[in-house]
Every structure is written in structure tokens, then in C-alpha cells.
């Protein structure tokens, strides 16, 4: 089977099927074998593993995953790619392709059927417009995951791993770091894709924590606080949380909780650590 990491082979397949890129799906296909090798290595795929791939495209990374893993389940939203995947993956009997939207798929059922409910590894080259909903969906649904190794926009990867006080720090940073240990494993320039995106990309590995690094009484409440804190970054926490339509706290309550934590009423959300948000949530 032709290695689709080689640009010429990708072009041939696209021409053979007269494939048209659809902007609404944010399609950029990887054409660099060294990047593909690095993704497989970073994801630490072994013959024991069942891998969930999100957005296989024409099957470029799927081929690599099928060689390395015991089983691959690939979820592709674009129906016009299904016949292509049938062709490019015809040599592999350990790949299941599902034509569906990953946000609507019952991943727990896939884990139960394909992997006896054991932890799966997720690998994906994610369209930029939907990165955050997919990652948060995987974490918040408490799907049995060991790790997520994904190609995302470089600035999104940066946002996932930064700490308080930086301009990229926000709700995504805190959410990712509550559930997983983030580590950027490769930077990938635009010329590694067809068509070329306008921005650089990065591969980031999120290793799921068995237990979150902080304890909180109600994680949904904590994340509601975090989102409200960053909805209006320039506001103080007292104003941002006190005025938030979906939170039942007065400015006085927020100020009192911050004071009990030894923090000034002028403090902003971008300076608080995950542990401090957990404490604030518990106190409120």
C-alpha cells in the first residue's frame, strides 16, 4: 500500500477520487513522514493498544497507526472520504472506520466493544475550529483514556501548557492541566500539509492523570467560575464573578472569599493557579 506520508502518493489519491477540500471541515492533510513517525513515537503506541483516531482524512496517519497498534477506530465526519479510506486502508484488517461526528459518538461504547473498557489512546490531526470542544468533550465525559496526542494550531498548544500571569493563560490552560499533563513534542511548519494552513502547528501529548492534581468539591462549579473569570479578562475577579449571569455570588461574597485566601479584591483571574481556583470554588 502506498505510503500517504509521501506527497506524491497523497496527490495521486486526491486526483484519483477528484477529492475537493471542504472549508467547513478544516481539512489539511499531513505530508511529512518524519512528522508522522514522531507522532507515533510520542503517542507511545504498542501492539497492546486500541487507538481512537479523530479525523483520519485520507488515512495517512491511520496507516502508521495500523502498523503500530493492535486495533484502530477512526472517526471521520466527511462522507466523501469514506470510499477513499476503504481504498487506502484495504491492506489492514485491524481498522474500523466510522462515518460520524466525534462530538456525537459514544466513545465509552467503542472502548467497551473494542478494548474491553480498558484505557484507549487518542491520536488526531484536529481541525483548528473545533479543537477545544473535542478535547474538553473527551475529558469531561470521563472517557477511558490514557493519553491524547494531537496536532493543533501552535498557539493553542502553547495555551494548553502555560501557567498564570501569561497572556495565553486561560480557561483552556486550566482545564487541560486539571485533567492531564501537557507536553509539546514537535513544532510543525505549514509546508508539511496539503493544503498549506496559514499558521504553524504543534503536536502536543496530554497524559491523563489518574487523579487530578488538585481536589475540589464540585468540578463543574469550579469550571463555571474559571470560564466567568476569563470571559472578561480585564475585569477583577470581584467584578467578573459578581456580575456573571450564571453565577449566584454577590461581589461581597467573592471579595470575602478572596480575603480569606489572603488575596486582594483587585486580583484578576489570570493570576490565580489551578489550586487557588479550586480553593475559591470550595469557599464560595
Domain harbouring 34, CATH code:
3.40.50.150
Residue range 150-176: mean pLDDT, rounded: 94
For the cut 80, the answer to whether the pLDDT of residue 276 exceeds it is: yes
Answer yes or no: are the C-beta atoms of 80 and 103 closer than 8 Å: no
- Identify the residue with better confidence: 52 or 21: 52
- Identify the residue with better confidence: 103 or 1: 103
Query: How many domains does the chain divide into?
Result: 2
Q: Report how far residue 33's alpha carbon sits from residue 10's, in angstroms, rounded to the nearest whole number.
A: 12
- pLDDT tens for 77-134 read 999 999 999 999 999 999 999 999 999 999 999 999 999 989 999 999 987 778 889 9
Domain boundary among 185, 208, 231: 208
Residue range 236-258: mean pLDDT, rounded: 94
Residue 182 lies in a domain: yes
The answer to whether the peptide bond before residue 195 is cis (omega within 30 degrees of 0) is: yes
Residue range 248-253: mean pLDDT, rounded: 95
Q: What is the pLDDT of residue 141?
A: 86
Domain span at residue 258?
219-283
- Identify the residue with better confidence: 55 or 21: 55
What are residue 62's phi and psi, to 5 degrees? Answer: -60, -40
- Identify the residue with better confidence: 26 or 31: 31
Tell whether 132 and 244 lie within a shared domain: no
Q: Determine what percent of the chain is predicted with pLDDT higher than 90.
A: 86
Q: How many CB atoms lie within 10 A of CB 17?
A: 15
List the one residue out of 77, 237, 46 whose CA is nearest residue 146: 46
Q: What is the pLDDT of residue 212?
A: 95
The partner residues of 265 in beta bridges, in order of sequence, read none
Tell whether 200 and 229 lie within a shared domain: no
Residue 213 lies in a domain: no
As given in the structure block, the three cell numbers for residue 257 are 472569599
Q: What is the pLDDT of residue 210?
A: 93
For the cut 80, the answer to whether the pLDDT of residue 1 exceeds it is: no
Return mean pLDDT, the chain: 94
- Identify the CATH number of the domain in which residue 260 sits: 1.10.8.100
Tell whether 154 and 52 lie within a shared domain: yes
For the cut 90, the answer to whether the pLDDT of residue 183 exceeds it is: yes
Tell whether 40 and 180 lie within a shared domain: yes
Tell whether 126 and 235 lie within a shared domain: no
Residue 1 lies in a domain: no
Tell whether 75 and 142 lie within a shared domain: yes
Q: What is the pLDDT of residue 189?
A: 96
Amino acid at each position: 500500500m502506498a505510503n500517504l506520508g509521501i506527497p506524491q502518493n497523497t496527490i495521486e489519491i486526491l486526483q484519483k477520487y477528484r477529492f475537493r477540500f471542504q472549508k467547513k471541515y478544516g481539512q489539511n492533510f499531513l505530508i511529512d513522514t518524519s512528522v508522522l513517525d514522531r507522532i507515533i513515537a510520542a503517542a507511545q503506541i504498542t501492539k497492546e493498544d486500541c487507538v481512537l483516531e479523530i479525523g483520519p482524512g485520507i488515512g495517512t496517519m491511520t496507516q502508521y497507526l495500523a502498523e503500530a497498534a493492535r486495533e484502530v477506530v477512526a472517526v471521520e465526519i466527511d462522507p466523501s472520504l469514506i470510499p477513499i479510506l476503504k481504498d487506502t486502508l484495504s491492506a489492514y484488517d485491524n481498522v474500523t472506520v466510522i462515518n460520524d461526528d466525534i462530538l456525537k459518538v459514544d466513545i465509552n461504547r467503542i472502548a467497551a466493544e473494542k478494548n474491553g473498557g480498558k484505557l484507549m489512546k487518542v491520536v488526531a490531526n484536529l481541525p483548528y475550529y473545533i479543537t477545544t470542544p473535542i478535547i474538553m468533550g473527551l475529558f469531561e465525559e470521563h472517557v477511558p483514556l490514557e493519553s491524547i496526542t494531537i496536532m493543533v494550531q501552535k498557539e493553542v498548544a502553547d495555551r494548553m501548557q502555560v501557567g498564570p500571569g501569561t497572556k495565553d493563560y486561560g480557561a483552556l490552560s486550566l482545564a487541560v492541566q486539571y485533567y492531564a499533563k501537557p507536553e509539546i513534542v514537535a513544532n510543525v511548519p505549514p509546508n508539511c500539509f496539503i493544503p498549506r494552513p496559514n499558521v504553524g502547528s504543534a503536536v502536543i501529548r496530554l497524559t491523563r492523570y489518574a487523579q487530578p492534581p488538585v481536589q475540589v468539591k464540585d468540578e463543574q462549579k469550579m469550571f463555571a467560575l474559571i470560564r466567568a473569570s476569563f470571559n472578561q479578562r480585564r475585569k477583577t475577579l470581584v467584578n467578573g464573578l459578581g456580575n456573571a449571569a450564571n453565577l449566584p455570588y454577590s461581589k461581597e461574597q467573592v471579595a470575602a472569599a478572596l480575603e480569606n485566601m489572603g488575596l486582594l479584591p483587585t486580583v484578576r483571574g489570570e493570576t490565580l493557579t489551578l489550586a487557588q481556583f479550586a480553593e475559591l470554588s470550595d469557599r464560595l
